[in-house]
Structure 1
Amino acid sequence: MAGTFSQIYIQIVFAVKGRSSLIMPSWEEDLYKYISGIVKNKEQKMLAINGMPDHIHLLIGMKPSCCLSDLVREIKKSSNEFINEKKYSSFKFLWQEGYGAFSYNHSSLDDVIAYINNQKEHHRKKTFKQEYKEFLTKFNIEHKDEYLFEGLD
């Protein structure tokens, strides 16, 4: 029997526009459920989702037919609408342009899931900016610091 067999695991990271701390504990779980529904409806598998008031991490098991940029665009667009329609934020909510995407092998999944699930503890010691720059360095992604972040410092 012919078929396509794959293991594609991607951690996606993106921030609230201006890195504003707008994601409140009172509704973050609703946001995570909503985003997980988008991923499932796009026939991908959510393995972990968590974040902080200013950013979010997702670990997704992807099919090779999925276009990552289309998936992230849909997650950001739909979740913006969801947050604004629910009036969760007293400010207009938007995600910052761009995102980070980092691939992992199957043997790393438990560590990545634990890392994502432990975001609140992790960020007691490290800012989002420090974390993000460490990802770029770890994955040997060339970048210029002045183009990484808009907004707060």
Structure 2
Amino acid sequence: MANTYSQVHLQFVFTPKYRAALIDPAWETELYKYITGIVQKNKHKMLAINGTEDHVHMFIGFQTTQSIASLMQDVKADSSQWINSREYCGSRFEWQIGYGVFSYSKSAVNNVIRYIQNQKEHHRKVEFLDEYMKILEEFAVDYNEAYIFEKPK
């Protein structure tokens, strides 16, 4: 759109269904590249992507021509289809319903990028769910623990 200017930095957090540890280090780099392609196809800029076996953090420069929900629908649907077409999990892979999305000022961009790049080291000390609830609290997001990502079965 002509004469529309924005600067929006968003961090997304999402997990495989039931927070299952399904993202194998053997193919996670390929997955992150594939997700980056989805983000770029939708005209956003990937600033950082990383995670562990049970979750992904994605930090992007977000273009306001698409809704957040539409982008996440594209990312989750396309990437789960990609994982399943390669039979990486031995059974059907699905992302958990829902996600977290948090906005940051330009002054925080470098810190968020570093934080995402260091996910594996970070999660040697901090459990994912504890981290996620801390983020929700830092952003003053009202939440019900019963609905924070379905528990593993």
TM-score by length of 2: 0.96
Moved over 2 A (4+): none
- 2:91 corresponds in structure 1 to 91
Q: Aligned partners of 1:97, 1:59: CA distance in 2, in Å?
A: 19
CA contact (8 A) 2:11 2:60 kept: yes
- 1:10 corresponds in structure 2 to 10
- 1:129 corresponds in structure 2 to 129
The sequence identity of aligned pairs, in percent, is: 46
Q: Aligned partners of 1:150, 1:66: CA distance in 2, in Å?
A: 27
Q: Residues 1-153 of structure 1 correspond to what in structure 2 (within 5 A)?
A: 3-152=3-152
Deviation at 1:64, TM superposition (A): 1.5
What is the one-letter code of the residue matched to 1:73? Q
Post-superposition CA distance 1:75-114 (Å, at most 9, x none): 0000000000011111211000000000001110000000
**Count of residues in Structure 1 that have an aligned counterpart in Structure 2:** 152
Q: Aligned partners of 1:129, 1:91: CA distance in 2, in Å?
A: 24
Q: Aligned partners of 1:81, 1:48: CA distance in 2, in Å?
A: 22
What is the one-letter code of the residue matched to 2:110? D
Q: Aligned partners of 2:48, 2:122: CA distance in 1, in Å?
A: 16
What is the one-letter code of the residue matched to 1:52? T
Q: Aligned partners of 1:3, 1:66: CA distance in 2, in Å?
A: 16
Structure 2, gaps ≥5 residues long: none
